[in-house]
Amino acid sequence: MAQAGKGKLNYRCPSCFMRDLDIDMFYDPDKEEYYCIRCCYHGSERDVQEKNEMARFRYRDMLRRIDHWED
Task: Name the DSSP class of 62.
Answer: T
Q: Cα 12 to chain center, whole Å?
A: 4
Number of residues binding to another protein, judged by CB under 8 A: 26
Tell whether residue 39 is a contact of another protein (CB under 8 A): no
Cα(40)–Cα(60) distance, integer angstroms:
28
Tell whether residue 47 is a contact of another protein (CB under 8 A): no
Tell whether residue 2 is a contact of another protein (CB under 8 A): no
Where on the chain is the footprint of another protein (CB under 8 A)? 6, 9-12, 17, 20-24, 38, 52, 55-56, 58-66, 69, 71
